[in-house]
């Protein structure tokens, strides 16, 4: 009886984990890109506060750093995942997008009290957020 | 007037319960994801905690028994021990998350390191617990947490569609699983066990008797009502700021950013100060709740109303729980995710927490002329039924929606 239960458990585990490690699916990629889009949009909101001198510099720096870490983590996940066909092309574009978003967030992190850097970062992050939205469409 | 100023227990229990680190972000997520249609869940949850808080306060005033003593009396040894272990595990996990949250908030002000500020936070909370009387703890953390009213002001300043907000308070049926995940989560967040354990033990600390029924009602209805208004304001303001931009909040910084949009740096600072003391209040709530439950289950002497050094077992357990929470916070685990798991997996234990209150509240032999009236009975059993449904629905929805995503 105990051996039979163990065999059932092993088969169940094998069936459960059979799906893991395969190529990235469109819905998984879409969720990752939506995370990038959200981070870019939030970064733009944060940059707007810097541009208009309506935020605390320490908050802007720390929050920009946190957003940057989220974006970097997403970029790493995307880089490590395998993908095929159309998903692979969009995945590569998403990794590139993540790098650009992280760079723009880095502007805020470096100069959280500079209104000119804030304006520049806001414009860049807004544009990158829109690009992420278009990339996620149709997935 | 005295009654109005003595609602600090209800305020700290509500602030610490409704707007702890996880609920802050969860309310913001509900606003960003579902928006106004989730609003009706908040008064449903708030009314539930009001009913049970008032009942447990009345039981303390008449029978001098806080909630965990009722758990021990009404359940057998195995079930009461199971309830104790479940409550302690969830309290310590939540405590770890709150301390982690305090580290994040302090780092927003000073940008040194979150780990350093978690250490500062645990020392600060321990010092407050040691040096302040119980009433002082209530007033400091409860009233300073009211800086979160900046979200109510922000909701109004952002000029919302009040018609849509009003419609949000009318329950609607939606097919989406994510919608029901947030509705169930918002109701359950108002009914977290540590709130009621802290409230009932706090009533003993305050020395309530039969003359304090109006004080109990004020604490339960006004105190928790204030918590509900703040939670609703966070949801409404997040709907206005985050939802149109497609921002999905994953940190307390995003919740703070919502207050910055209409009010600039002043709004941001008020939000961060409010969050600091609300989360600090939650830290105090959960630490005391754990120590109260253990002491009441074991029959030890307990309470801030005595000298802590005169009750070494209670004091050591309080210190031990704070240290355990500190260790969890220092592990680097995301405090938001940790509270989400703690909340969702505490929900199946909710019926065990609330049933003894209902049974004793309905027991005329114990309560005499203060026994539950018809309205309290109907509401009490109605909410108990709802809690049983939540106990099944919450974990299922959590898994089905992958944590609301």
Put simply, the answer to whether B269 touches A56 (Cβ < 8 Å) is yes
Rounded to the nearest angstrom, the minimum Cα separation between B314 and chain A is 38
Alpha-carbon span A41 to A132, nearest angstrom: 10
pLDDT in tens, A50-72: 999 999 999 999 999 999 999 99
Q: Regarding predicted confidence, which is higher, A8 or B256?
A: B256
User: Distance of CA B2 to CAs A124, B7, B15, B133, B219, Å?
Assistant: 56, 9, 21, 19, 12
Residue of A nearest to B32 (CA): A38
For A55, the closest of B109, B248, B265 (CB atoms) is B265
Give how far A1 is from chain B: nearest CA, Å: 30
Find the residue in A nearest to B106 (Cα). Answer: A59
- The SS3 assignment for A23 reads coil
Burial B126-153 (b: 16+ CB within 10 A, else e): bebbeebebbebbbbbbbbbebbebbbb
Question: Strand ranges (DSSP E) for chain A?
Answer: none
- No. of helices (H) and no. of strands (E), chain A: 5, 0
Question: Residues B374-402: pLDDT tens digits?
Answer: 999 999 999 999 999 988 888 888 788 77
pLDDT category at A114 given cuts 50, 70, 90 is very high
Please give the average per-residue pLDDT across B364-373, as a whole number. Answer: 95
Percent over 70 (pLDDT), chain A: 85
Question: Which positions in chain B touch A44 (Cβ < 8 Å)?
Answer: 245
pLDDT at A88: 94
Provide CB contacts within 8 A for B241, sequence distance 6+: A45, B158, B247, B257, B258, B261
Nearest to A45 among B111, B245, B405 (CB): B245
Which one of A42, A51, A73 would you mutate to disrupt binding with B, by most B Cβ within 10 Å of its Cβ? A42
In angstroms, the CA A112 to CA B84 distance is 48
- Interface size between A and B, measured as CB pairs under 8 A: 63
Closest-approach residue (CA) in chain B for A52: B264
Q: How many CB atoms lie within 10 A of CB B213?
A: 16
Whole-angstrom CA distances from B268 to A83, B107, B147 are 42, 14, 11
Judge: B257–A49 Cβ closer than 8 Å, yes or no: yes
In percent, how much of chain B has pLDDT > 70?
98
DSSP per position, B36-82: GGGTTHHHHHHHHHHHHHHHHHHHHHHH---HHHHHHHHS-HHHHHH
The structure tokens 């509270």 sit at B339
Q: Which residues of B touch A54 (CB under 8 A)?
A: 260, 264-265
A124 vs B90 pLDDT, higher one: A124
Q: B255 to chain A: which residues are within 8 Å by CB?
A: none
CB–CB of B108 and A31 under 8 A?
A: no
Nearest CB to B253; choose among A31, A52, A66 = A66
State how far residue A3 is from chain B, nearest Cα, in angstroms: 30
pTM: 0.92
Residue range A32-43: mean pLDDT, rounded = 97
Nearest-10 Cα torsion for B202, B207, B213, B218 = -40
Whether residue B184 contacts residue B346, with contact meaning beta carbons closer than 8 Å, is answered with no
Helix (H, G, I), strand (E, B) or coil at B6: coil
Predicted confidence band at B405 (pLDDT cuts at 50, 70, 90)?
Answer: low
Q: Write out pLDDT tens, residues B2-51.
A: 565 677 777 777 777 778 888 899 999 999 999 999 999 999 999 999 99
Beta-carbon separation of B109 and A35 below 8 A:
no
Give the distance from residue B333's alpha carbon to the nearest chain A alpha carbon, in angstroms: 14
DSSP SS3 for B306: coil
Please give the torsion angle defined by the CA atoms of residues B370, B372, B376 and B377, in that order, rounded to the nearest 10 degrees.
180
Residue B83 has pLDDT above 50, yes or no: yes
Q: Chain B residues with CB inside 8 Å of A59's CB?
A: 108-109, 253, 256, 268, 272
Q: Do B245 and A42 touch (CB under 8 A)?
A: yes
Contact A62 B108 (CB under 8 A): yes
pLDDT in the model for residue A16: 47
* Contact between A62 and B257 using a beta-carbon 8 Å cutoff: no
SS3 B209: coil
Task: Measure CB to CB from residue A59 to each of B108, B241, B405 and give the nearest one.
Answer: B108
- Contact partners, residue B336, CB within 8 Å, separation at least 6: B21, B22, B25, B97, B101, B250, B251, B252
Nearest to B253 among A34, A63, A129 (CB): A63
Q: Is the pLDDT of residue B253 over 70?
A: yes
3-class SS of residue B362: coil
Helix H or strand E segment including B375 = helix B374-400
Give the confidence band of B143 by pLDDT, cuts at 50, 70, 90.
confident
ipTM for the whole complex: 0.91
Contact A45 B272 (CB under 8 A): no
Give the model's pLDDT for residue B21: 87
CB A42 within 8 A of CB A66: no
Chain A residues with CB-CB distance to B under 8 A? 31, 34-35, 37-38, 41-42, 44-46, 49, 52, 54-56, 58-59, 61-63, 66, 70, 129, 133
């Amino acid at each position: 009886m105990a051996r039979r239960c163990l065999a059932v458990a092993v088969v169940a585990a094998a069936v459960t984990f059979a799906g893991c490690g395969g190529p990235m699916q469109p819905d998984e990629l879409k969720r990752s890109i939506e995370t990038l889009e959200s981070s870019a949009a939030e970064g733009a909101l944060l940059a707007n506060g810097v541009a208009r001198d309506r935020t605390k510099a320490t908050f802007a720096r720390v929050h920009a750093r946190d957003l940057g870490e989220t974006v970097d983590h997403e970029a790493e996940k995307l880089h490590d995942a395998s993908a095929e066909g159309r998903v692979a092309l969009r995945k590569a574009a998403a990794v590139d997008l993540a790098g650009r978003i992280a760079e723009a967030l880095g502007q805020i992190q470096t100069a959280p009290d500079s209104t000119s850097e804030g304006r520049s970062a806001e414009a860049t992050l807004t544009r990158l957020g829109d690009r992420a939205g278009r990339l996620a469409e149709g997935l | 007037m005295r009654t109005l100023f003595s609602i600090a227990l209800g305020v700290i229990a509500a602030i610490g319960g409704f707007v702890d680190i996880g609920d802050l972000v969860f309310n913001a997520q509900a606003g960003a994801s579902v928006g106004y249609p989730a609003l009706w869940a908040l008064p449903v949850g708030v009314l539930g905690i009001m009913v049970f808080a008032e009942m447990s306060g009345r039981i303390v005033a008449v029978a001098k028994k806080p909630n965990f003593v009722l758990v021990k009396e009404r359940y057998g040894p195995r079930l009461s021990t199971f309830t104790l272990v479940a409550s302690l595990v969830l309290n310590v996990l939540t405590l770890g998350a709150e301390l982690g949250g305090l580290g994040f908030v302090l780092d927003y002000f000073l940008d040194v390191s979150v780990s350093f500020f978690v250490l500062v936070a645990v020392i600060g909370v321990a010092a407050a617990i040691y040096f302040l009387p119980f009433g002082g703890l209530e007033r400091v953390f409860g009233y300073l947490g009211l800086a979160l009213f900046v979200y109510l002001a922000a909701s109004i300043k952002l000029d919302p569609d009040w018609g849509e907000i009003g419609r949000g308070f009318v329950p609607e049926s939606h097919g989406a699983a994510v919608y029901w995940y947030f509705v169930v989560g918002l109701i359950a967040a108002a009914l977290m066990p540590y709130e009621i354990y802290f409230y009932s033990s706090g009533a003993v600390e305050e020395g309530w008797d039969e003359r304090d029924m109006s004080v109990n009602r004020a604490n339960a209805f006004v105190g928790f009502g204030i918590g509900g208004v703040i939670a609703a304001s966070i949801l409404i303001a997040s709907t206005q700021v985050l939802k149109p931009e497609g921002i999905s909040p994953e940190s307390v910084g995003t919740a703070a950013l919502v207050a910055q949009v209409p009010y600039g740096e002043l709004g941001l600072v008020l939000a961060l100060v409010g969050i600091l003391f609300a989360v600090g209040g939650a830290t105090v709530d959960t630490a005391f709740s754990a120590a109260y439950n253990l002491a009441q289950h074991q029959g030890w002497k307990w309470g801030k109303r005595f000298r802590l050094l005169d009750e070494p077992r209670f004091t050591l357990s309080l210190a031990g729980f704070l240290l355990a929470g500190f260790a969890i916070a220092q592990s680097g685990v995301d405090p938001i995710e940790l509270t989400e798991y703690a909340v969702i997996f505490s929900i199946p234990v909710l019926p065990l927490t609330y049933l003894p209150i209902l049974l004793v509240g309905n027991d005329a032999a114990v309560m005499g002329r203060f026994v539950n009236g018809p309205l309290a009975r109907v509401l009490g059993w109605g909410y108990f039924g709802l809690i049983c449904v939540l106990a099944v629905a919450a974990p299922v929805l959590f898994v089905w929606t992958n944590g609301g995503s």
